[in-house]
Amino acid sequence: MARQTLLFAGIFIIAIALFLVGCTGQLNSYAAPATQSTGATGATGANGTTGANGTNGATGATGATGPAGPPATTPQTSHTDISNFRFSDLTIKTGDTVIWTNQDNVNHTVTSDSGTELDSPLLANGQTYSHTFTVAGVYTYHCTVHPSMTGKVTVEN
């Protein structure tokens, strides 16, 4: 009889365990029904285009980013020497700054050929003049003391 009781108890425990496992599976599928939630807004693309909102059931995945535009650039500073009665031609990006340093023992200027974009005072040895270029274009300049000294800054977008 003890043997039958033990067998009955074992079957009963297994039946309860199977019942609980079955209930747990059902509880998981019904306790948290799948609901669609909107994901976070996609990141803004480099050209200002915003990506779409992501949706992915309860997880709310992030949306796709907009199409890639040109890489953003940080304004740079270019240093150039006025040396041996010569300027160096430069090519820079919009927003960049150029700093001219007079390395000659005589005074020089940095003066636009047309307009007033570049208009330095007389620069003695070791003195500098700087200008930030905000508009793309080609800027030609000269030294008012030595008109044969010419230079060019090409500013690209």
The phi and psi torsions of 83 (rounded to 5 degrees) equal: -145, 140
Average pLDDT, the chain: 75
pLDDT at 36 over 90: no
Answering whether pTM is above 0.75, one says: no
Using alpha carbons, list the distances in angstroms from residue 7 to 13, 17, 18, 43.
10, 15, 17, 64
pLDDT band at 53 (very low <50, low <70, confident <90, very high): very low
Using alpha carbons, list the distances in angstroms from residue 81 to 39, 42, 57, 124, 127.
54, 47, 62, 13, 10
pLDDT tens digits, 62-97? 445 556 656 667 999 999 999 999 999 999 999 999
Q: How far apart are CA 56 and CA 35, in angstroms?
A: 9
pLDDT band at 37 (very low <50, low <70, confident <90, very high): very low
Q: What is the mean pLDDT of residues 95-105?
A: 98
Tokens 């000294």 — which residue?
Answer: 149
Which of 10-14, 21-25, 33-37, 61-65 is the least confident region? 33-37
pLDDT tens digits, 121-153? 999 999 999 999 999 999 999 999 999 999 999
